[in-house]
Amino acid sequence: MEPESFRLLGESADVRVGIRHQGQESGLEVLVRVSPSGPAFRPAVIRDRLDRLDVLTGNGYRLTAQDGWWVVCEKLVAERELASEERSAMRLFADLLDGP
């Protein structure tokens, strides 16, 4: 198995965006907490996050549910398309990201 590396592009308490490399394969990985932590349940926030997950699904991401309201979104990307995909993912979650 070839070594794997991960480069974090941005993160916050509810989102993490990064690039994963393994051998010749590269891909974007976005982790999204559908419901923010805290005592309040806010349906509008959940709807907004689900809309963003729909955008990722439409762009070819594979989504996997995790514990704690987290969803892992992954997409293999050709090297020549990596910068464009990175910009798209960062724009989609810019208001939720604190930066790297």
pLDDT of 81 reads 94
pLDDT of 99 reads 53
Q: Over its length of 100 residues, how does the chain's per-residue pLDDT go in tens digits?
A: 678 899 999 999 999 999 999 888 899 999 999 998 788 889 999 999 999 999 999 999 999 999 989 999 999 999 899 999 999 999 999 999 975 4
φ and ψ at residue 56, rounded to 5 degrees: -60, -45
What 3-state DSSP class applies to 26? strand
How far apart CA 17 and CA 72 sit, in angstroms, is 10
For the chain, domains (ranges, CATH) are 4-93 (3.90.1150)
Contact 63, 57 (CB under 8 A): yes
